[in-house]
Structure 1
């Protein structure tokens, strides 16, 4: 098989390269306190898209820093309540996707909540003004400011807040909620389950936002991670702040949050992935202490993976 990273046996032992900030736990408890203090002001509006077996809503809520966050909400009809739910997250720069790709779960009797990340391709707001660059990239937004102002921090909190809103819906069984997504969506699946540990099952596919220093050392700070190189070129061209920058990125590095996950994990990895290198994904996977397993695609990179949707559905049927 092609080898773009470590052999598989080494991947299962890899512990990551990026530093963990000493105050990481306090950082995220402070962040969660900020989230819990927000009145979400949930608003549901029927969508123009409807189907006979489910009701489709545009859902809005207020997240940290006052941003109105949008999600698509599909609720099955004629299903005994409370019933299970799926939280769905999209890839980097994208949006919540078409209504139609939520209908399989709705047909199975699951509610589906699909979030638009703030400042990306959907309808959510990005209200976060920061010191420093706002050019090309959410990983680096706020990197020249206080760590509490990192944009990815706010997006991580949005995932947990949406999960809490879903769990509080009277029609949803709060003990039977899962999370899914690929790439950035896989990263946000990990973030959601880390910050809302009631997530029962999660199925991240080649997750982004893990082990930034490893990405840099592999000379793969391009494509989705290209903004790391942009940041250094503009703001630290001699790399005098390199250790400081990678430590600050540690606050939004999912390998350092993964030990908080309590739900069962099915992670899918393509071993030929040069966008989100396999070792970076395993840096997070190997820190998960909850029940976990992997689906490995030896010949595939950051691309469509055959049967991954089918296998995810089978996994989620256990909710």
Structure 2
């Protein structure tokens, strides 16, 4: 399989100096403070998922700007008859995927967790379906989501998504059946990048599990012959030749490698050394920047599928130990 990035020994040594944009922490403090005034406005409706071991609820909460964000809440059926509080997992979706159908993402509920599967606003028309729109506008952008609102961090698409993620953690931690001190966040690709942001920005996250995370070390990703979504950056800059500094300054506000410096919870990363979508050097940049306890599972001969079911089994064992 052709590889576009560094060798594995070089990856272990790859520690780029990633400059932080001026006012990074102030930007996020202001953003979260502005959003705190919106009540969570949680609604729950039971749905028939066709399963006997998992109960599913159609959950809606108020995300960025009070916008309704959809999610599935999966609970082990036995938990509804038990008085012991459950550990929880908030799951974020890959690029242009949504929460899907009620039975699609139930692994963590089957493992005994309260499992909240958050829609990504404006997405869910790629590899699986979504039900959450994004009512906010955008300036000029290339098709995709990475350059939407690229002219200023306040307008960028991922500012809204990261706020949604923070509030999703708050929703699950506040559920009557959930132990608020044992809630983890996870996701693959874009979901991994969102998990890194939630781990840095949300209160009370107990563990972070980013799989082959997207949204890390943007300049490095843009300089390599990657596939979409990172290739969206190059296409935009090929037209907007005078905006290079502006674009990378905006994107830096959403860089998982910078978010990782604010981490406090233990993390289990995964990386695929032959990844042509999220280059392994960008994942290692986030891993090496991560300030709390961390591990990384390396899949040397895999592309963006990463560890797949092997990683899922490793996560289950690791999370049970971390939250014990």
Query: TM-score if structure 2 supplies the norm length?
Result: 0.91
Deviation at 1:2, TM superposition (A): 6.4
Which residue of structure 1 aligns with residue 171 of structure 2?
165
The 1-side partners of 2:15 and 2:180 are apart by 33
In the TM superposition, 1:184-195 aligns within 5 A as 184-195=190-201
Which residue does 1:224 correspond to in 2? 229
My pick for the range that moved more, 151-160 or 132-141, is: 132-141
Shift of residue 278, structure 1, vs aligned partner: 0.7
CA deviations 1:237-270 (Å, max 9, x no partner) are xx32212221111111111111112111111101
2:10 corresponds to which residue? Answer: 10
Alignment coverage as a number of residue pairs: 313
Partner in structure 1 of residue 131 of structure 2: 123
Among 289, 297, 302, the alignment partner of 1:300 is: 302
1:56 Cα deviation from its structure 2 partner: 0.8
Would you say the 8 A contact 1:2–1:298 is kept in 2?
A: no
1:90-239 matches, within 5 Å, as 90-121=93-124, 122-130=130-138, 132-144=139-151, 146-220=152-226, 222-234=227-239, 236=240, 239=241
Runs of 4+ in 1 over 6 A off after TM superposition: none
Contact 2:186 2:195 in 1 (8 A): yes
Match runs of 1:62-77 below 5 Å? 62-77=62-77
**Could you tell me how far 1:8 is from its partner in structure 2?**
2.6
TM-score of the superposed pair, with normalisation by structure 1? 0.92
Please report how far the alpha carbon of residue 92 of structure 1 lies from its aligned counterpart in structure 2 after TM superposition.
Answer: 0.1
Q: RMSD of aligned C-alpha atoms?
A: 1.9
| Unpaired segments ≥5 residues, structure 1 | none
Bigger relative contact order (CA 8 A; separation at least 6): 1
Corresponding position of 1:314: 317
Name the counterpart of 1:82.
Answer: 85
Separation in 1, partners of 2:107, 2:160: 30
Q: Does 1:270 align with 2:272?
A: yes
- Encode CA deviations 1:156-200: one digit per residue, 9 max, x unaligned: 111111001100111100111111211111111111111115211
Structure 1 residues 292, 304: closer, same or farther in 2, change over 3 A? closer
Look up the match of 1:251.
Answer: 253
The answer to whether 1:40 aligns with 2:48 is: no
Find the residue that maps to 1:27 and give its secondary structure: helix
Shift of 1:81: 2.4
- Between the aligned partners of 2:304 and 2:190, the Cα distance in structure 1 is 11
CA shift digits 1:9-43 (9 cap, x unpaired): 33233233654201101001111112212112111
